[in-house]
């Protein structure tokens, strides 16, 4: 694409970064504040409009940065909208649902194209840390008091409701801690790297106290692998790509197997939900390929959703949508990994996003518009690189040759005329 002037590019980049950070803050605001009031619920209900608008604006502002592969994915996103629109009757869906996969693609491209310089990353990390601290404060001051004699740290303390619910708060803690820790590490400043340790501890403590098992396991996985030395991360980076591939290829048949197994209960009763979901999905052959009407599962007085992002994708977009989303994720991960100079900070983002994929086996965090910016931004940010040898002088440039903008006075001086 034709380049724009540097000053104009910097302004567009700043505007784009502010929009993207604003989108993530709005998502976190829902879970930090809660949706108990009518005003907050209205924001919650309108997120499927706000997020696509914001993502599209940022993409348009950075259109001059697009490369051929990016244009291809934009084309795929647009075609996906047209394709799934043809089956709206079968799926009982509308335009705002049809654009979900396109929103995922746009969000990743936005965070890939916009240059988050170190100063902007520091601000972003600071805001995510603030979100985490506010959430932690509310967890430790507003959760209902457990029964007498039971500590909030006790595993038997089953907290069903906070100001939203335990799984939502766990997901919010997980995402804010992942963003804060990875952004701080990407700065490559010693003091910033040390700040990740209290963030690890706070995330583990909060997800344990609210008993959000999926989020707690995801944080444990992230902390374990992120603590590895940078040289070791880079040495085994191919393992991350293989892990992503095996996971995304195997998640559907594994979920199907667990749903139909009467002896295995690894996901705290969610297998019952999945069994009912698959029974409903396979009733009509076309539903398996392109999606089905909205799915709910009733357990007593509770009306539950899929509690599995991959089943949610199958339900909304069928096998076509699940394959498309998986291919897009693998394309980004592998293209980052195969580069010879993949930086340690990039690998931290990849580890964090894989932890989100693990958590998504028990929650719907990948397909909801109010989660997509704060989950898939990790995949987009994995493209962000620090300049190599930023302060190193380039001796390959002949500084004694005048540039196009320089003019030298070549008239001989008096000393020269005398031959000295």
Q: Residue 305: count other Cβ atoms within 10 Å of its Cβ.
A: 17
pLDDT at 272: 83
Q: Helix crossing, 309-337 with 68-85: angle to 10°?
A: 170
DSSP annotation of 297 reads: E
pTM above 0.85, yes or no: yes
Q: Which residues of 314-349 are buried (b: 16+ CB within 10 A; e: fewer)?
A: bbbbbbbbbebbbebbbebbbebbeeeebbbbbbbb
The pLDDT tens digits for 374-386 are 999 999 999 999 8
Inform me whether the pLDDT recorded for 287 exceeds 80: yes
| Mean pLDDT across the chain | 87
DSSP letter for each residue of 341-383: T--HHHHHHHHHHHHHHHHTTTS-TTT-TTTHHHHTHHHHHTT
Categorise residue 293: left if φ over 0, alpha if ψ from -120 to 50, beta otherwise.
Answer: beta
**Backbone CA torsion sign across 227, 230, 231, 232:** positive
| Inter-residue contact 328 to 382 (CB < 8 Å) | no
Bridge partners (DSSP) of residue 304 are 297
Predicted confidence at residue 389, as pLDDT, reads: 46
Q: What is the pLDDT of residue 55?
A: 98
Alpha-helix residue ranges (DSSP H) falling in 62-152: 68-85, 88-91, 95-98, 100-113, 118-142
- Determine which of 28-37, 110-119, 344-353 has the lowest per-residue pLDDT on average: 28-37
21-66 pLDDT, tens digit per residue, is 999 999 999 988 888 788 888 999 999 999 999 999 999 999 999 9
pLDDT of 405 = 46
> What is the spatial distance between Cα 11 and Cα 19, in angstroms, rounded to a whole number?
12
Write down the pLDDT at residue 391.
41
Q: Determine contact, residues 222/352, Cβ cutoff 8 Å.
A: yes
Three-state DSSP string of 151-214: CCCCCCCCCCCCCCCHHHHHHHHHHHHHHHHHHHHHCCCHHHHHCHHHHHHHHHHHHHHCCCHH
Q: What percent of the chain has pLDDT over 90?
A: 64
Going by the DSSP 8-state scheme, the letter that residue 63 receives in this structure is: G
């Amino acid at each position: 694409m034709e380049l724009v002037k540097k000053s104009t590019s910097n302004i567009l980049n700043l505007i784009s970064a502010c929009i993207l950070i604003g989108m993530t803050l709005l998502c976190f605001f829902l879970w930090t504040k809660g949706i108990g009031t009518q005003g907050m619920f209205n924001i919650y209900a309108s997120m499927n409009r706000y997020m696509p608008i914001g993502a599209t604006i940022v993409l348009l502002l950075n259109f001059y940065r697009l490369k051929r592969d990016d244009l291809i994915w934009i084309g795929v996103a647009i075609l996906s909208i047209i394709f799934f629109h043809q089956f709206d009757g079968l799926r009982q869906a509308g335009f705002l649902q049809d654009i979900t996969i396109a929103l995922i693609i746009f969000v990743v491209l936005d965070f890939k194209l916009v240059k988050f310089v170190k100063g902007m990353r520091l601000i972003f990390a600071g805001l995510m840390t603030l979100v985490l601290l506010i959430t932690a404060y509310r967890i430790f001051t507003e959760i209902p008091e457990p029964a007498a004699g039971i500590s909030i740290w006790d595993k038997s303390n089953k907290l069903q409701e906070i100001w939203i619910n335990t799984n939502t708060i766990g997901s919010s803690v997980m995402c804010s801690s992942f963003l804060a820790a990875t952004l701080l590490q990407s700065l490559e400043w010693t003091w910033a790297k040390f700040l990740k340790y209290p963030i690890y501890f706070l995330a583990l403590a909060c997800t344990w106290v609210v008993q959000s098992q999926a989020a707690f396991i995801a944080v444990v996985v992230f902390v374990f692998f992120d603590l590895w030395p940078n040289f070791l991360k880079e040495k085994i980076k191919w393992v991350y790509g293989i892990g992503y591939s095996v996971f995304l290829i195997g998640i559907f048949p594994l979920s199907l197997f667990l749903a139909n197994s009467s002896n295995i209960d690894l996901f705290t009763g969610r297998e019952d939900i999945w069994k009912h979901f698959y029974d409903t999905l396979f009733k009509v052959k076309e539903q398996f390929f392109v999606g089905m009407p909205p799915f709910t599962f009733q357990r007593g007085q509770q009306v539950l959703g899929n509690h599995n992002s991959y089943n949610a994708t199958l339900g909304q977009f069928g096998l076509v949508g699940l394959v498309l989303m998986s291919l897009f994720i693998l394309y980004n991960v592998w293209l980052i990994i195969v580069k010879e100079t993949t930086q340690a900070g990039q690998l931290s983002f990849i580890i964090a996003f894989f932890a989100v994929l693990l958590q998504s086996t028990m929650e719907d965090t990948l397909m909801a518009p109010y989660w997509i910016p704060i989950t898939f931004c990790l995949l987009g940010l994995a493209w962000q690189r620090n300049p190599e040898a930023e302060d190193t002088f380039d001796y390959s440039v002949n500084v004694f040759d005048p540039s196009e903008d320089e003019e030298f006075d070549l008239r001989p001086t008096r000393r020269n005329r005398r031959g000295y």
